[in-house]
Amino acid sequence: MNASRRAVLAGLTGLTAAALAGCGSGGSLASGGQTAADPAPGVSGTGLASPAAPVTSAAATPSAAASSPAAGPALSRDAVVARYGQLTPRTWGFGGPGVVRDLGTRRRVIALTFDACGGPGGSEYDAALIAFLRRREVPATLFLNSRWIDENPATFRQLRREPLFELANHGTRHLPLSVTGRSAYGIGGTRNAGEVYDEVAANQVKLTRLLGTPPRFFRAGTAFSDDVADRIVTAMGDQLVTFSVNGDGGATFTPEQVRVTVAAAPAGSIVLCHMNHPRGGTAAGIAAAVPQLQAAGYRFTRLSDGLA
């Protein structure tokens, strides 16, 4: 990566890190990096309800239900609580043990990933973005929240039929993964090992029912997690993925900011953007950045192919 590309990335680091909570309906965002524990764990600053009932079997069938049988995680809720319930976390952020942040290569390949977060203000669909990826035959990994799936059943059915895209787990209620209720950007995290399980498992079961096969990858709401939660996700059979480039600042960037940030992504990057804010700058910015990267010799990959 040349000096100018480094300068662009360095200049945007603080801004992009501060905007990862852009899946909801807006409001001021906390600064990036470490966050203080929420004084009322489990209560979201964006109106999320208190934690749902534990997942003990197959999740309720969504409106886009398929005939495939449900398949649970590799570890039961009781086993997760017994094994991890008394552990104290030591880290909090985007890159704990076992977390994938990049493709681990210097080849000119980039993984574009797009979150669909769901919930109030977060269940829309950026059709222009997906149409561009289809026209240019650009593969991508789409991280879908359970609530977004329920609000967009027809779109989900279309996306699951397209080999250009792979669908991954973005949680049940879009919560940071914590075993102590720690928060990120004002969103209260899961409060214990059992709630970590619930946040992952309900949508894993749903996606398995709809896709006929378990999703391989999981990204937490806000992408924050602690090291105990990281271990739980791995034990449940998922691979926890964050990012190396925050491409649209939580869907707050202008098209030009998206273009500059994504076009400056170094080889082997996992780029995080959003597909649930059609009035944001993501679609236009990606449409400008992709040809620029392709002209420089870069190609794009789904995570399952780039991490094979």
Structural domain includes residue 32: no
What's the pLDDT score for residue 52?
A: 40
Structural domain includes residue 19: no
CA distance 276 to 13: 23
Answer whether 277's CB lies under 8 Å from 121's CB: no
Answer whether 293's CB lies under 8 Å from 263's CB: yes
> Which pLDDT band, with edges at 50, 70 and 90, does 22 fall under?
low
State the total domains in the chain.
1
Q: Which two tokens stand for residue 180?
A: 């102590």
What's the pLDDT score for residue 23?
A: 61
Average pLDDT, integer, range 191-197: 98
Q: Which two tokens stand for residue 159?
A: 């996306």
What's the pLDDT score for residue 33?
A: 34
pTM: 0.81
Percent of the chain with pLDDT over 90: 74
CATH at residue 188: 3.20.20.370
**Cα distances (Å, whole numbers) of residue 50 to 37, 43, 179, 256, 289:** 16, 6, 15, 38, 40
Structural domain includes residue 239: yes
Structural domain includes residue 6: no
Q: In a 3-state reduction of DSSP, which class is residue 305? A: helix
Structural domain includes residue 57: no
Structural domain includes residue 276: yes
Structural domain includes residue 179: yes
Structural domain includes residue 98: yes
User: Residue 257's domain spans which residues?
Assistant: 72-306
Q: What is the per-residue pLDDT across 40-75, written as a single tens digit (0 to 9) for each?
A: 222 222 222 333 444 433 333 333 333 334 557 888
